[in-house]
Structure 1
Amino acid sequence: MSFPDLLERYPDLGQGLFGKLVANQPLSAVTWFRTGGPAQLLFQPANVEDLSAFLKKLPEDVPVLPVGLGSNLLIRDGGLEGVVVRLSAKGFGGIESLGGNRLRVGAAVPDKRLAEAAAKEGLGGFSFYAGIPGAIGGALRMNAGAHGTETCERMVELVALDRKGERHVLTNKDMDYAYRHSGASAGLIFVEAVMEGVPAPEETIRQDMADVIAHREKAQPIREKTGGSTFKNPDGTSAWKEVDKAGCRGLTIGGAQMSELHCNFMINTGEATGQDLELLGETVRKRVFETSGIKLQWEIKRLGQFGSSGAVEPFLGATEEAA
């Protein structure tokens, strides 16, 4: 499907900008699942000033959604209405040493690149990022973590633009961090952050990174089309244990499958649609609830409009949607 061309509706939208604007750009190429419909308009700003100028010109009734590396994102088959903002590595991928064990990091910096830069600076506390396949903007938004460390332990402050293109500085306290959650307004686009580590020998840091990478390669289907952990860990247990207990390891719907290697990972076995993946996830949630009474919560973000095959209903239906 395709959307009405926003560039035709607002012909002056791209004037004076240095970034790239593309109407009805397929998003399957930018998500790790390799599925999903188009963005009505995809904008890749050249820098912060370019993004701010664009947001100030964009009519307020047009939705805006920032998308990073797409590692934990499921775009539905009908695509995304409005503007998808994808920050470029050139404009938002810098890392700067500030002294005092701190780094200024662009939101488009891949997590593993931050781990590498911190190691070179002799800064510990970032090794967990070596095993997280995303970018710092997403890590800040969802409080990404692994191996006993979370983003909230490293983040000092961040810079964001609001829907009107205005600049805001948020402290760690402002973010109201919790497990895989931040309380920051959904309308904010993070552009950079100040992160703080702890001094450590580079040799020790690199061994920690090697351990993280080795664990990931052994335990996760990293060579598949996947989106990382599908569900958040419930209190007192692990999501994969509950999925396994419910008999869902290897469960397949269409081209989507719960990984045989790590059953909290969904994979696109080749030709999965967004509907296949979301329906598989909801089926697993239903079976886990029937087995253990646990309501698994999605960790993967599902966004956009459903396609011609129809909607996928939450396993508890309208009751869950209203909660």
Structure 2
Amino acid sequence: MNDAFPVSGLRGRLTANAPLGARAWFRTGGPADWLFVPEDVEDLADLLRNRPTDLPLTVLGACSNVIIRDGGIEGVVVRLARGFSDIQVEADGIIAGAAALDVTVAEHSAAAGLAGLEFLVGIPGSIGGAVRMNAGAYGSDIKAVLDWAEILTADGELRRLSCEELGFDYRHSELPDGAIVIRARLRGTPDNPEAIRERLAEIRASREASQPVRARTGGSTFRNPEGHKAWALVDEAGCRGMMLGGAQVSEKHCNFLLNIGEATSEQLETLGETVRQKVLEQSGIDLHWEIRRIGRRTTGEKTI
């Protein structure tokens, strides 16, 4: 890592060798070479416009569906916080900043009497990540409710993309390479606020009953293959409760990995790969990770 950050004049908070593990829901992972918390959109655009092409850049949101590897993350990590979390209620929708938590957007929608965004209360994460991966749960997803998303391109240009332009598919979007979601508009339908709050409560209760929501976890580990449920495939392969060091496949919902003690990111990722292999041997189905694994496995190794 260079002694001096290669971009000058930034107004946000810039920290060298910044610990990241405490931010991740798994509570594991090494530091960022540099952590940048931009002051506002223009501050972030300045970074993108002036960043050397050989400086890797990673964006982290709520860190819910990510394994940060033990060697940390090369280059600069951008974390959107203040200036990116505003929520604006309109007559038929909500404009939410990328750093706004999904659950907070769902609560604002309920208070405003706007239905259709209840599913967000069941998704641990922020709006930027939800747009990037077309997050969904409880019968809906971002594709079903998004009007547009504003992004900064890799060279710092502000653009607005429609739902169609984002090319959503299951847990996937066609965001341009290097683009960062800034904010998004989500449609809502007028409804009785109390009825909406009741549906939020039902989703919360269902999630509490079926998922290890109070554990150190990263949400759903694997995508559901077409025609199958990932948890059922993991269960059929005999992996429920499987452990590696402080990492465990949840006994409550076996598409969740848990840090039950002092797990390392390496243990979590290795356990996940072991589960994938056992499912492949059992069913012939190759599970694909839904959780992002980012960074270096050990200090000094290139980011992969």
Q: TM-score, normalised by structure 2?
A: 0.96
1:193 aligns with 2:189: no
Task: Tell me, in whole angstroms, the C-alpha distance in 1 between the residues paired with 2:144 and 2:101.
Answer: 18
Residue matched to 1:269? 260
Q: Pairwise mapping of residues 129-208 of structure 1 onto structure 2 (< 5 A)?
A: 129-208=120-199
Q: Pairwise mapping of residues 1-323 of structure 1 onto structure 2 (< 5 A)?
A: 4-5=1-2, 8=4, 10=6, 13-15=7-9, 17-88=10-81, 90-99=82-91, 101-307=92-298
Contact 2:71–2:301 (CA under 8 A) maintained in structure 1: no
* TM-aligned CA deviation for residue 114 of structure 1: 0.2
SS of 1:8's partner is coil
- After superposition, the C-alpha distances for 1:257-307 in whole angstroms (9 at most, x for unaligned) are 000111100001111111100100000000011111111110000111111
Contact 1:14–1:21 (CA under 8 A) maintained in structure 2: no
SS of 1:228's partner is strand
Residues 244 and 172 from structure 1, CA distance in 2 versus in 1: closer, same or farther, beyond 3 angstroms?
same
- After superposition, the C-alpha distances for 1:117-137 in whole angstroms (9 at most, x for unaligned) are 101111101111111110000
Contact 1:143–1:151 (CA under 8 A) maintained in structure 2: yes
Task: Tell me, in whole angstroms, the C-alpha distance in 2 between the residues paired with 1:115 and 1:40.
Answer: 34
SS of 1:92's partner is coil
Contact 2:241–2:251 (CA under 8 A) maintained in structure 1: yes
Task: Tell me, in whole angstroms, the C-alpha distance in 1 between the residues paired with 2:250 and 2:146.
Answer: 32
Task: Tell me, in whole angstroms, the C-alpha distance in 2 between the residues paired with 1:57 and 1:293.
Answer: 47
- After superposition, the C-alpha distances for 1:208-238 in whole angstroms (9 at most, x for unaligned) are 1001000111111111110000001111121
The alignment of Structure 1 onto Structure 2 pairs a total of residues equal to 303
Task: Tell me, in whole angstroms, the C-alpha distance in 1 between the residues paired with 2:5 and 2:198.
Answer: 54
Gap regions ≥5 residues in structure 1: 312-320
Residues 102 and 9 from structure 1, CA distance in 2 versus in 1: closer, same or farther, beyond 3 angstroms?
closer
* TM-aligned CA deviation for residue 156 of structure 1: 0.6
Task: Tell me, in whole angstroms, the C-alpha distance in 2 between the residues paired with 1:295 and 1:309.
Answer: 31
User: CA RMSD, aligned part only?
Assistant: 1.7
The percentage of counterpart residues that share the same residue type is: 48
Amino acid at match of 2:152: L
- After superposition, the C-alpha distances for 1:81-117 in whole angstroms (9 at most, x for unaligned) are 11111001x2101011233x02111000000000001
Amino acid at match of 1:214: A
* TM-aligned CA deviation for residue 186 of structure 1: 3.4
Residues 309 and 166 from structure 1, CA distance in 2 versus in 1: closer, same or farther, beyond 3 angstroms?
closer
- After superposition, the C-alpha distances for 1:123-166 in whole angstroms (9 at most, x for unaligned) are 10111111111000000000111111001111110111112211
Task: Tell me, in whole angstroms, the C-alpha distance in 2 between the residues paired with 1:84 and 1:163.
Answer: 14
Task: Tell me, in whole angstroms, the C-alpha distance in 2 between the residues paired with 1:288 and 1:196.
Answer: 38
Task: Tell me, in whole angstroms, the C-alpha distance in 2 between the residues paired with 1:86 and 1:173.
Answer: 27
Amino acid at match of 2:46: A
Task: Tell me, in whole angstroms, the C-alpha distance in 1 between the residues paired with 2:200 and 2:39.
Answer: 32
Task: Tell me, in whole angstroms, the C-alpha distance in 2 between the residues paired with 1:309 and 1:226.
Answer: 26
Amino acid at match of 1:39: A
